[in-house]
Amino acid sequence: MVSDAINILCNLEHRGAVGADPRAGDGAGILLQIPHTFFARKTKALGFTLPEPGRYAVGALFMPKEKAWRKVIQSIISDQIKDEQLTLLGWRDVPTDNSSLGETVKPTEPAHMQVFIGRGAHIKSDDEFERRLYILRKSISQAIYQRRDRGLAGYYPVSLSCRTVVYKGMFLADQLAKYYPDLSEPDFESALALVHQRFSTNTFPAWSLAHPYRMIAHNGENQHAARQRQLDGGAPGLGAFRIVRQGPSAGCGRSPMKDKATPPASTTASNSWCRAATRCRMPS
């Protein structure tokens, strides 16, 4: 699933923008189900043991390169976890390889860390745990930004969930797996995956603005539908790549042409999603 998702991502070429530096991308990434076997192996080597899936959360964090300030942030996160009656299980430095990054991207590259949080016996369900994690994420950010202005803090919570984890950055689609060696590990497995790369139409590129976000891979018309699915009890923004079809869809009405006979832009063979799915040739 992970390799197929990355293959799809690499076929979304028209959604990724580049500048004068041809290796400076506008952002790409992957959101997937927590690969428990992989994280259990990695954390055991670090000296702590993970509970069963659903009993812990993974926080993917962009952190500042300044070591002293990074230690302060870790201390704030630890205190906030305790205040929310959760358990800090441990930290992991995420390995990265920036050799393929554009030279204009490297100066803004953050440090990458993952924090593992136990939910405790008093939390009875995954849904309740997710709500606690949402509050925790907000309280951590507030505490950090009170100490240092948001634009200067160098901190961004990429994801914090007991269900999903995000790997993303300000690069092109083909750089994702090169940058994060985790994605190529044999036991890095996921039953679900969501990918995207996108031009930040109304903003300057930034690591934090790279897609996908914590629950969705797009903005605009898809955002409300994704949120509604979550409220209706569906998975948080994930969709399995199982059914691929080309042709008109009742759910898509976008078209650059006023002529109603023109097929919606999102369903034409030239659209990147159709091209990506067709090239990937995933089974139904």
Say if domain 2-241 classifies as CATH 3.50.50.60.
Answer: no
3-state secondary structure of 188: coil
Residue with tokens 């952190």: 63
Q: pLDDT 10s per residue in the chain (284 long)?
A: 898 888 888 887 655 555 666 666 678 889 999 999 999 999 999 999 999 999 999 999 999 999 999 999 999 999 999 999 999 999 999 999 999 887 878 889 999 999 999 998 889 999 999 999 999 999 999 999 999 999 899 999 999 999 999 999 988 888 899 999 999 999 999 888 888 776 555 567 787 878 787 876 655 444 444 445 555 554 444 443 333 333 343 333 333 434 444 444 433 343 443 334 334 444 44
Among 192, 204, 117, 213, CA closest to 162: 117
Give tens-digit pLDDT for 199-213.
555 567 787 878 787
Q: Select from 30, 83, 80, 88 the least CA-distant residue to 57.
A: 88
Tokens in use for 218? Answer: 């797009």
Cα 274 to Cα 186: distance, rounded to the nearest angstrom: 29
Which tens digit of pLDDT belongs to each residue from 245-267? 333 433 333 334 344 444 444 33
What percent of the chain clears pLDDT 90, i.e. is strictly above it?
Answer: 48
Are the beta carbons of 30 and 194 closer than 8 angstroms?
Answer: yes
Q: What is the Cα–Cα distance from 18 to 92, expressed in whole angstroms?
A: 31
Q: Give strand pairing partners of 194.
A: 31
pTM assigned to the model: 0.74
Beta bridge partners of 59: 115, 160
For all residues of the chain together, what is the average pLDDT? Answer: 78
Backbone conformation region of residue 220, classed left if phi is above 0, alpha if psi is from -120 to 50, else beta: left
Residues of the chain with CATH 3.60.20.10: 2-241
